[in-house]
Amino acid sequence: MRTIATLIVRGGSKRLPRKNVRDFCGLPLMAWTIIQAKSSHLIDEVWISTDDLEMADIGRDFGANVVMRPDWPDADTVSGSRPTAHILNAALAEGPVDCFVGTLVTQPLRKPDDFDRLVTKFYEVEAPAVTVMIPRRETVFYEASGDGVQMTIFDKGYNYFEQVGGTGATDPVWWLEQSKEMVDESDAVIDAMATKLARERKTPAVPYITFDMWQHADTDTLDEFDVAALNMEHFILKGRGAHVYYEYADPYRGAVGNWRQL
């Protein structure tokens, strides 16, 4: 069974410019997701789609396959479905893929075995996709209503979940078939479709695994970026840097050297 990880990185970050290559706990932010995927016992290859030469160089340096995508004129508004389809087609051109782990480099707070837990769940269940969730307790949501806000959800149990950065394990052929009408749509259009389905209670039930509460991370602003780095160091790295992942992949090699291309 061939399992790959796919990462979508672009050079035109708007809210925090060049965040994908910004230093995060001693390495470029995007490098951590590559290291985590390369350290997995169940992921065979890491594929990166990018339009940026510096990011392409970082990807290759850390052992990923890099696919340069076209300079799409609507790159600022188009959804992630288009680059995902582009990179999946490139990987499929080299042979069948049974599962792809789609993830965001901007959500780096992953423990060493998280990807393996996700892939294991995918191959255990008879479903085309598995996602990652964080349980939420004592959840209160408010919706804007005129000049004020109105409560829409209140719950004291672990009955609600928050998705972790779009991370999931998916059958690529199934995904391409389901997404063929969305690859050229904008984020706004797809968000509107998702909102409509959610309000109509028509979204399908999807198998999932859970991450810990602290593993949710946004890195769209400098404050969010810095808080994510603090959590990464406190909960995962603990002064050991990337060796946490290297030793998970191979205890002996991880203990004796700083090696990138696992």
> Taking Cα atoms as reference points, which of 165, 139, 164 lies closest to residue 153?
139
> Taking Cα atoms as reference points, which of 254, 255, 245 lies closest to residue 27?
245
For residues 150 and 167, give the distance between their C-alpha atoms in angstroms, rounded to a whole number. 30
Q: Amino acid letter at 163?
A: Q
pLDDT computed for residue 30 by the predictor: 96
**pLDDT interval class at 191 (50, 70, 90):** confident
Q: Does pLDDT of 259 surpass 60?
A: no
Can you read off the two tokens belonging to residue 64?
């990923």
Other residues' Cβ atoms within 10 Å of the Cβ of residue 68: 15
Does 3-131+162-256 carry CATH code 2.40.128.20? no
Mean pLDDT of the chain: 88
**pLDDT interval class at 227 (50, 70, 90):** very high
162 Rama sector, left if φ>0, alpha if ψ -120 to 50, beta otherwise: beta
For residues 45 and 38, give the distance between their C-alpha atoms in angstroms, rounded to a whole number. 7
Using CA of residue 33, residue 39, residue 43, residue 47, what is the dihedral sign? Answer: positive
What mean pLDDT comes out for the span 18-32? 96
For residues 117 and 114, give the distance between their C-alpha atoms in angstroms, rounded to a whole number. 5
For residues 247 and 241, give the distance between their C-alpha atoms in angstroms, rounded to a whole number. 11
Q: Does pLDDT of 94 surpass 60?
A: yes
- What is the domain partition of the chain in residue ranges? 3-131+162-256
pLDDT computed for residue 185 by the predictor: 67
Percent of the chain with pLDDT over 90: 63
Q: Does pLDDT of 231 surpass 80?
A: yes
192-222 per-position pLDDT tens digit: 776 777 677 666 788 999 999 999 988 989 9
> Taking Cα atoms as reference points, which of 148, 14, 37, 173 lies closest to residue 96?
173
Highest-pLDDT range among 16-20, 32-36, 72-76: 32-36
Highest-pLDDT range among 9-13, 70-74, 126-130, 133-137: 126-130
Residues 87/6, Cβ–Cβ less than 8 Å:
yes
143-187 per-position pLDDT tens digit: 899 999 999 888 888 788 888 877 999 999 998 998 887 777 676
For residues 101 and 171, give the distance between their C-alpha atoms in angstroms, rounded to a whole number. 9
For residues 206 and 197, give the distance between their C-alpha atoms in angstroms, rounded to a whole number. 14
Can you read off the two tokens belonging to residue 5?
């990880």
**DSSP letter assigned to residue 213:** G
166 Rama sector, left if φ>0, alpha if ψ -120 to 50, beta otherwise: left
97-136 per-position pLDDT tens digit: 999 999 999 999 999 999 999 999 999 998 999 999 998 8
pLDDT computed for residue 252 by the predictor: 63
Can you read off the two tokens belonging to residue 173?
């052929």
pLDDT computed for residue 261 by the predictor: 52
List Cβ neighbours of 62 (8 Å cut-off, separation of 6 or more).
31, 34, 35, 38, 260, 261
Q: Does pLDDT of 190 surpass 80?
A: no
